[in-house]
Amino acid sequence: MLSRFITIFLCISLWSQAVYAQASQREVATQFNAWYMYFGTYRFSEAWSVHSEFQLRRSGILEDPQQFLGRIGLNYHVNESLMLSGGYAYIITSPYGEQPVLDKFPEHRLWQQLVFNQKIGKAAINHRYRLEQRWLDLPTTEENDYTYLNRARYRLMVNIPLNSATISKGTLFISVYDEVMINFGKNSGKNIFDQNRIYGALGYQISPSANVQVGYLNQYIQKPDGLRFEQNNTFQLAVFHNLDLR
């Protein structure tokens, strides 16, 4: 039942991407990128933990810069299944690919999210609902003249252990997710649909507090003019560190 649900969900996502790409007046750039990522969660009480995240995104394997992202936040654990979070992120986007921006530019971002976890058999299912308030110093505007955008994101992620009943030290596991991002507000213009991400990876639980994942991300992005799109085939290498300091 679970596998059928995941298959249907991913097929719908792929179908929606294909519909966007069908119109002849739209220009779709297909390219290859690589993201190198660190995610850290440090729990210091029953209710509270700190989130830290750093991502180095490159065009090609290592050739040219695409983005740098740093994110930090505070998590409130309502219970073992429900978590509320909020924080700040700083992003630098550089010109890359076939549809480059005019120059690199910074972005300041506030974010809030709700994360709900559930189990179905061996599968650990994660629902993430996120709101973002974004200030972008775009190269088409005057210096320090920021454009404000709102974005909503929903991600459905499933982790399935392969060689044990649960994900513990020494476990190999599969991680898959789909995430859709929608812009809203007065500055969204033609870019209501922002992007969709489909991810699949093989993970290894190194210790009770750390795992590494190697995977592939298909990222489909609509540009602000509503006519240009990116189809990014992305290699991902991620390290997750969840330290319990209680």
Residues with Cβ within 8 Å of residue 43, at least 6 apart in sequence: 49, 75, 77, 242, 243, 244, 245, 246
Residue with tokens 């440090």: 42
Task: Express the helix, strand and coil content of the chain in percent, nearest 5 each.
Answer: 10, 65, 25
Cβ distance 65 to 101 under 8 Å? no
Instruction: Print pLDDT tens along the chain (246 aa).
Output: 555 545 555 555 555 555 554 555 678 999 999 999 999 999 999 999 999 999 999 999 988 999 999 999 999 999 999 999 999 999 999 999 888 888 999 999 999 999 999 999 999 999 999 999 999 998 876 667 889 999 999 999 999 999 999 999 999 999 999 999 999 998 887 788 999 999 999 999 999 999 999 999 999 999 888 889 999 999 999 999 999 998
Identify the pLDDT of residue 145: 83
CATH of residue 75's domain is 2.40.160
Q: How far is 87 from 59, CA to CA, in rounded Å?
A: 27
Per the structure, how many domains does the chain have? 1
CA neighbor of 232 nearest in space, from 101, 64, 96 = 96
In 10 A of CB 55, how many CB atoms? 19
DSSP 203-234: EEEEETTEEEEEEEEEEEEE-TTSSEEEEEEE
Q: Which helix (H) or strand (E) holds 38?
A: strand 27-43
In 10 A of CB 174, how many CB atoms? 16
The range of the structural domain enclosing residue 36 comes to 2-244
Identify the pLDDT of residue 4: 55
